[in-house]
Every structure is written in C-alpha cells, then in structure tokens.
Homo-oligomer: A and B are copies of this chain.
Amino acid sequence: MRTSIATVSLSGSLTEKLTAASRAGFDGVEIFENDLLASPLPPEEIRARCADLGLAIELYQPMRDIEAVPEAEFARNLRRARHKFEVMRRLGADTVLVCSSVSPLAEDDDALAAGQLSQLGDLAQEFGVRVAYEALAWGRHVSTYDHAWRIVEAAGHPALGTCLDSFHILSRGSDPKGIADIPGEKIFFLQLADAPLLAMDVLQWSRHYRCFPGQGGFDVAGLVRHVLSTGYDGPLSLEIFNDVFRQAEAGPTAVDAQRSLLVLQETVGLSEPPAPVVPTGIAFAELVTPDAEPVTALLAALGFTRTARHRGKPVDLWQQGEARILVNTGPALRRDGTALAAIGLESPDPEGAARRAEALLAPVLPRRRTPEDARLDAVAAPDGTELFFCAPETPELPGWRADFADTSGQLPQEIGAERPAPGQLPTATGVHRIDHLALTQPWHHFDEATLFHRSVLGLQAQESVDVADPYGLLRSRAVTTPDGSVRIALSVGAAPGEDGAHAQHIALATDDVVAAARRFRDSGGRLLRIPANYYDDLAARFDFSEGELETYQDLGILYDRDAGGAFRHCYTRTVGRVFFELVQREPGYRGYGAQNAPVRLAAQHTAKRLTGG
C-alpha cells in the first residue's frame, strides 16, 4: 500500500520535511496547514517540489470547527473553506481533513452537522476536492469514529467520507470492530499513530506523546486489519505529534517512521520482507580505543587473555570462556575515548539477517572484507553501534575468527595466565559469557532504538524503567532473546545534551561473583566502592548467611532478588565511556539490578570526583 506521513511529524522547514519523507521512501505526505503558511514557497512550487520528490499530496489538513453551527457562522466557515479549496487546487491536493468541531458555538445536532457537511461537500465538488470528516477524541459533540460515520452516512454526499485516526479511536477505548461496517470507499483516509499507555488528558496525550506504530501500547495493527477488511485502498499515513520528534533531525525520524510502517505492513500481511533471524548469542563485543593499555589491563585482571590478533588490522581478541572482546586500537570514534563500537551477533543465517535489516532500512555498512577476511555482514543501529551478523563456527563455514591469527604466549601479561581454548567451559571463578551489554542511546532515539532492535533483530522488549541518577532521571529498557542468550539494555538520559556523559558497559556472567571479584582485585583490579549504608539497608530487606553481607560489602557486590531468583553484581572502574560488570544471575532472575542502579550511579559520580576522571 502507499505510505504517507504528515509534515507535522517531522522537524524543520516544509522543504526539509518533504526531502526527508522522500528519502525515507514515502509515497506521499499530508500537508499540515501551519507548515504551508510558514513556507516561503507558493502552493504551485510546493506541488512541483513534491512531484520532483515523487511525493503525492495525499491530504491537506486540518479544517476545524466547520459543522453544526448557527447559519451566519456557517456562512463564514464556507467562505473560509472556499479559500482553502482554492489553495488545495493550487497545491494539487484532492482530499481535506475536517476535524469534528470543538467550538463552543457547535450544537449537539447530528442532522444540522450532516446538512452543513453536505453543503461543504457541494462546495468541495466545485474544486474537485473530497472532504474526510474525522472525530477528534475531544470533539465537543462528536468524539467517536462511529458517530462521525453516522453523520457522514446521513449526509449521503459523494464528496463526503470519513477519516479514521488510530489515536482518536484507541485513546477513547472505542472498539475498532465497527470499522468493518463502513464501506471502504467511504473511508477517505487513514491516519496512524501509536502512543504509550498513559492515563492523562487525551488532548495533551495526543499533542505531545504520539509515537510511531509499534513504539507505543496501542494495537494499531489490529485496527488496520479492520480497515483493510472494508476494501480501503488509500494510503497508510502517519500523523504524529511528538515533542521529541519536533526537535530531532527530520532525516532519521522519517526513516524510523517508514520502518514502523514496513513492520506494520508485515504484521497485517500486506508485505513479506525477509523473516527475522533471531541471534543465538553474542559472538563478541568490540571496543575502539585510542590507547589499549588501560582497557587491556582491566581485561587481564578480569581473567581475559589475548588469544588472537587480526591478520590485517590493529584488533586483538581477548577471551575468557565464551566471552570475547575485541580491542581495536584504530582511531577512536568518540572524543571521550574508549567506547563500545560494535557487537558481533551469532546468527544462524547471517545473510538472511542482513537482508532483513536492509529491508527494514538499517544502514548497511561496507563489508569488512579483505582478500583474507571472512565475509561479515554488518548494519548500524540507531545509536551508531555496528552490528555484525556472524555465522556459527562450523567446519564448512569460515567463522569471523578465521581472520584472527593465534597469539598464544606472545604477550607478557599472559605469562602464567590461564588460557582457555575457544569455547572451553569456564572454571567456577571465571567469566563464562557476556551476560548483557548496556548501551546509552542518543536522547532523540530511545523509542526508535527499541523498535529497531525488536523489528530488525527479532528481540523482545521488556518494560521500561526509570532510574534515578544524582543528576537526572534515566530511562532503561532491555531487549532480549527469549532464552537470554542475547541481552541488550538500552538506556537514555531524561534530557538531551548529556549523551556522552553516560557510560556503556559490558556485563560478564560468572557462576561465583565473589570468587571472580576477588580474583579481579587480587590481580590489581579496582572495584567500585559501594557505601556501607547500602549494606545496612540490604540487611533490613533480606536474610543473609553469617558473613555473607560483610563479604559483599568488602567487594562492593550489590544484591537484588525477584520472584525468579537472586542477582549479585559488582563493577570495575570506567575507562573512557566503558566499564565492566561481573554478574552472577540465578536462572529465573529477569532483571538487570535496576533497583541498585541509583546507588551504583552515585558511587560512579563519587569515584569520578575522587579521581578526577
């Protein structure tokens, strides 16, 4: 089906908006009146610009407070409408949105509304225009889609149909089933928006918190199925009022918008992009650093050994059990030094995974392939993190590690260090895999990141949680495979401008965090100190065996418990933007220690103040 987006959903001047919509692959746009008024281009030029960009002008919007008013007022409204139809003629737009009236002058009189809308239809016909009448959720007398349809039906005018808007329908809790009773040819337009499930004034909710389908809590796909059952063949059009999108760059927002419609079309069976290929594990995490020493010292103390070096690039593989970390001493990507720049995802079908990512508009990265390199498909996540799809290592397929040459015994820090073979079972005190990766998202792209990881990678999103940092509130949300083999915790600051200040981290799974923490400390590692007051509180909340809490306090181990089990974890110091966490997770525990995050964040601020970095 044709896709369309309302210009109000994107930031910038009208031409910036149009360009972004076109580049993201939209077929058309709704032109929001204020965007037209504020544009220095006359309607004819906007029309030509849209044509050049391959965009149809699907809708002009909105006309307000038209119907069910006293005669003199309606005469003024018709005069106003004539002006707007004239503008539409110049624009080449043939459908106009009329919102149900919120005017105090409007009367609760469906017959009057139908009669006046019919007169409006007569005028519209003169200009070759169709009128799509929509119930605003806060309309004065008409606030539900079935009510708006009854009025359109009563008017029985060929130039008058209805416009359905998923937000207005679902925010009111209306049952969308009744949509199936509307003849498809009388549904002149379909506007789609999702929203988080907030209990708040519906007008404020609509004006500030709408989001793209799949980013909120509404069953937008279910509604679309009802609409499709009528034979509706107009566009799927996004109309999103959102304070964040108003500030974000139009280009990425438009891509995100288009991706949401691609996923929606797949969900309702309108299209069949390549199926998601759910990753089966984390093959590696790659750190880029201008100076490898601080981070490799940390890795060595954590029990990692350098097992291999890339044949053609300054990249070392550090390994322990199934936890693999690449240290890339290429040019640092970020000014604040060491950063988590790439993730290797084990994939049963790397090419399929890459095809799906490309179909869902993930930027495909140039392949890292030299004559000797294994083929690696990679895309960029919304925060710029590179995602590599890595084949499992079988004798038939060259794995990504084929690019790495063995380096056993070459490095001084390995002398005396235990060096497990790849895939070897870890010792009890060791790290056996990456438990999760925690990535800070740019402020404008939190919901986008969640949708990306869900739709492109086939991960599942957990609940979003608020976490209090001493200097602001963070939001955090994990995306995971059902079996937990891949877990990525996405977080974002409550406000923009501090993206760089928030660290990323790699959480390493161990079966005995006490032993692992001790080994780290004995190897010269410094653990994040946790205040004694925290342990007093733990003692009040949980029962511990003799000496257990003292051990935790000594090592800075934090403790949490949910219905499924316990979670014990501790932290290293931060290098650049990156730190490590040692994690002992009982199998049933689902979380990430969010309960402890305020204490951890405060402790990191304290450590930074004490060391000045």
Contact = CB atoms under 8 A, between A and B. Distances in A.
A612 interface: no
A83 interface: yes
Contacts of A84: 540
Interface of A: 11-13, 16, 33-34, 36-43, 79-80, 82-84, 87, 198-201, 204, 207-208, 243, 246-247, 466, 468-473, 494-497, 529, 531-534, 536-537, 539-541, 598-599, 601-603, 605-606
Contacts of A37: 531, 533-534, 537, 598-599
Residue from A34, A208, A469, A603 with most neighbouring chain B CB atoms (10 Å):
A34
A13 B246 contact: no
A536 B34 contact: no
A540 B77 CA distance: 9
Given A38-B603, A540-B84, A533 B496 contact: no
Contacts of A200: 198-201, 204
Contact of A473 (B13, B83, B246, B468): B246
Contacts of A540: 79-80, 82-84
Contacts of A11: 470-472
A247 B493 CA distance: 10
Nearest to A540: B83
30 contacts: A11-B471, A11-B472, A12-B471, A13-B470, A13-B602, A13-B605, A16-B470, A37-B534, A37-B598, A38-B470, A38-B531, A38-B598, A38-B599, A38-B602, A80-B541, A82-B540, A83-B537, A198-B200, A199-B200, A199-B201, A200-B200, A200-B204, A207-B466, A243-B494, A246-B468, A246-B471, A246-B472, A247-B495, A495-B495, A496-B496
Given A246-B471, A495-B496, 10 more contacts: A12-B470, A16-B470, A37-B533, A79-B540, A80-B541, A198-B200, A199-B201, A199-B204, A243-B472, A497-B497
A608 B540 CA distance: 61
A473 B534 contact: no
A13 B469 CA distance: 10
A534 B247 contact: no
Contacts of A87: 533, 536
B40 A529 contact: yes
Nearest to A599: B38
B34 A246 contact: no
Contact of A13 (B466, B533, B534, B606): B606
Contacts of A34: 468, 598-599
Residue from A11, A201, A536 with most neighbouring chain B CB atoms (10 Å):
A536
A606 to B, nearest CB: 6
A497 B493 CA distance: 13
A556 to B, nearest CB: 12
Contacts of A599: 34, 37-38
Contacts of A529: 40
Nearest to A81: B540
